[in-house]
Amino acid sequence: MSQSIEQPADGTRDRTPARAVPTSADVARLAGVSRATVSYVLNNTSAVRISEPTRKRVREAAQELGYVPHAAARSLRAGHSRMVLLPAAHVPVGPLYSRFLNDLQWALRRLDYTVVQYGSIGLDPEDAARAWAELRPVAVVSTGEVEVTPAAVDILKRSGVKAVISVGTRPSGGTHSLVLDQPRVGRVAAEHLIATGRRRIGVVVPEEPGLEMFSAPRLEGARTAAGAVGATVVPLPLAYTEESAGELAARWPELGLDAVFGYNDEYAMLLMRALQDAGVDVPGATAVVGADDLLLGRLLRPRLSTVRIDMVLGGELAALVDGAVNGTADPVGGRSLLDSRVIRRESS
């Protein structure tokens, strides 16, 4: 057994069976003051002056009891919270996106928001919205995998949500939308391939679920670019396994493609290797382009060409959220936050 569970071993188990959690009333009692005074002292309320000895007594009492204020009670009283709800992704996405989400979480934290990840599987958009609304978040930032319909937005707004922001999808009614231009990724890839003389372009469409929201618009973008010059685009379903790549590579001659956009670097690497193993010359017979500019793509031979995506920064999105919450005018309007450009290496 390479893993173990340890019970608390300090001999204090059940020393205090269901001991009550101390409240400000307990602190007040111990310090011999009123609850109001406790609140004043602990919140450093400047409008009220409390004598130093009293402050000291209160603080000591709080310390002794291990008193910690109750956030829910506080925000109930205050009438608002600083909770930002992030609908959880159904499936782990790529490294770029994970990094983005992590950045976002930290940036929000720095702005003193509490981030709640909330998964809502098998709920339709409106039921999901109702579930989210129960938490009375001040903002909802949907990262696109979860659809936010106009009706859902209405439910949220009516429950007091100040800002509904969707990122990664096309704008949906009533939300502030941060549209990550996925079609552009496919478009610049295709344009690059066309510019280097290719005319029959395969576009990998991952079979793994949860990726359609990225892959479909990328495919569409490639189609746009190809349509403009009479080039052909062929969708290529591909699972992230060596078998699937091998099968696709075996069909390569009959497909008659002279280029392929691999959705991202990982799928592109997988396919490129399969093509090479099947005797297809890269980039001679077929050019290959990935996306994300992963370091690993530079390790293969030929080095993988890629579309570098400059993802919007978590900090900027956090600023947008904060602005929307405060009702401040759009803090990022007009700025280009997502840019994609081809980095040509050796595979194209």
- 36-55 residues in contact with DNA (CB under 7 A) are 36-40, 42-43, 45, 47-51, 53-54
Residues 6+ apart with CB under 8 A from 228: none
Radius of gyration of the chain (CA): 27
Cα gap 320→318, rounded to integer Å: 5
Question: Can you spell out the DSSP letters for 250-301?
Answer: HTHHHHT-SEEE-SSHHHHHHHHHHHHHTT--TTTT-EEEEES--GGGGTSS
Closest distance between DNA and the C-beta of residue 39, in Å? 4
The site partner of 115 among a second copy, DNA, none (C-beta below 5 to 8 Å per kind) is: a second copy
CB burial class (10 A; 0-12, 13-18, 19+) of residue 100?
A: buried
Based on CB atoms, which residue is closest to a second copy, 150 or 227? 150
347: nearest Cα among 246, 309, 339, 291 = 291
Q: Does 313 bind DNA (CB under 7 A)?
A: no
137 φ/ψ sector (left φ>0, alpha ψ -120 to 50, else beta)? beta
Cα gap 343→268, rounded to integer Å: 14
Site for a second copy in 97-116 (CB under 8 A): 98-99, 102, 105-106, 109-110, 114-116
Q: Which two tokens stand for residue 191?
A: 């344009």
Q: Does 25 bind DNA (CB under 7 A)?
A: yes
Based on CB atoms, which residue is closest to DNA, 69 or 246? 69
Based on CB atoms, which residue is closest to a second copy, 306 or 340? 340
Is residue 115 within 8 Å of 143, Cβ to Cβ? no
Buried b (16+ CB within 10 A) or exposed e, 49-80: eeeeebbebbbebbeebebeeeeeeebeeeee
Look up residue 237 and give its DSSP letter. Answer: E
Site for a second copy in 7-36 (CB under 8 A): 7-10, 12, 19, 21-22
Site for a second copy in 130-189 (CB under 8 A): 130, 133-136, 150, 154-155, 158-160, 171, 173-181, 184
Based on CB atoms, which residue is closest to a second copy, 39 or 75? 75
Cα gap 142→163, rounded to integer Å: 11
Closest distance between a second copy and the C-beta of residue 229, in Å? 21
Site for a second copy in 40-99 (CB under 8 A): 66, 68-73, 75-76, 81, 86, 88-92, 95, 98-99
Closest distance between a second copy and the C-beta of residue 55, in Å? 19
**Number of shown-chain residues binding a second copy (CB under 8 A):** 92
Site for a second copy in 236-295 (CB under 8 A): 240-242, 266, 269-270, 273, 295
Q: Does 114 bind DNA (CB under 7 A)?
A: no
Which window, 35-43, 103-111, 200-208, 316-324, contacts DNA (CB under 7 A)? 35-43
Q: Does 3 bind a second copy (CB under 8 A)?
A: yes
Based on CB atoms, which residue is closest to DNA, 48 or 296? 48
Look up residue 233 and give its DSSP letter. Answer: E
Q: Which two tokens stand for residue 167?
A: 């990122």
The footprint of DNA (CB under 7 A) covers: 21, 23-25, 32-40, 42-43, 45, 47-51, 53-54, 67-70, 73-74, 76-79
